[in-house]
Amino acid sequence: MRQPGAQNGFTLIELLVTVVIFSIGLLGIAGLQIVSKRATFEAMQRTTATQAASGLLEDMRANGPALATYVTSAQIGQSTMQTSVAGGCDNFNQPCSSVEMATRDLAQWETLLDGGMEAGPAGGVGGLVSPRACIAGPLDGSAGVYTVSVVWRGTVAITDPGINACGADSGQYGDANEFRRVIQILTFIDPNI
């Protein structure tokens, strides 16, 4: 026999409250997933830029006689170089000059930034979003501090610190460069060592 006032199950109101609370939790998890994906993408872009800048500095260090060729190049990125060296400097019997090697390095480096080293169905993938790069140092290629700066477009607006002018005047990073991300690596290179 059933006692008066005893409850035998969930009421419809309790079930609706449970569904609403569960839905709010799922929306929170979805929002967290979006933030996580954005942060992962930003980290991947920063890692790609850092590896590319470090790689170019090592190429410059290995090709000391042509340091001036690296420095006098304009901003590179987004297929601005369009330069290739005949034979690609890969022929052992006809080696390239140091200037040809520098030109090849810059063209390959731009291809890396633009994502051309990894091809997908629609073209290059894996590069940076709207990349630009600047190389600074002694214009005569002498011993000194050389700086490689890599710029790309971020996903979230931030305040641009304005410490580096690379890519700042391109208009691709927002009206106040709020989407501009910059890494710069400095190193001392002596072409005689």
Cα Rg of the chain (Å, integer): 26
Mean pLDDT of the chain: 84
Model confidence pLDDT, tens digit, residues 147-167: 999 999 998 888 887 778 888
* Residue in 82, 101, 103, 81 with CA at minimum distance from that of residue 91: 101
pLDDT at 25 over 90: yes
Supply the pLDDT for residue 8.
66
- CA-to-CA dists, residue 110 to 45, 114, 129, 150, angstroms: 15, 6, 13, 11
Distance CA 132, CA 76 (A): 6
Please check whether residue 89 is in contact with residue 104, taking contact to mean a CB–CB distance below 8 angstroms: yes
Please check whether residue 149 is in contact with residue 75, taking contact to mean a CB–CB distance below 8 angstroms: no
Supply the pLDDT for residue 32.
93
What is the value of pTM for the model shown?
0.77
Where does the pLDDT of residue 86 fall: very low under 50, low under 70, confident under 90, or very high at 90 and above? very low
Distance CA 75, CA 186 (A): 17
Where does the pLDDT of residue 67 fall: very low under 50, low under 70, confident under 90, or very high at 90 and above? very high
Model confidence pLDDT, tens digit, residues 98-140: 888 888 888 888 888 888 766 666 666 678 888 989 999 999 9
Give me the percent of the chain exceeding a pLDDT of 70.
83
* Residue in 163, 150, 189 with CA at minimum distance from that of residue 57: 189
Distance CA 179, CA 154 (A): 5
Buried b (16+ CB within 10 A) or exposed e, 30-51: eeeeeeeeeeeeeeebbebbee
Compare 11 and 61 and report the one with higher pLDDT: 61
Of 22-26, 46-50, 60-64, 172-176, the poorest mean pLDDT is in 172-176
Give me the percent of the chain exceeding a pLDDT of 90.
41
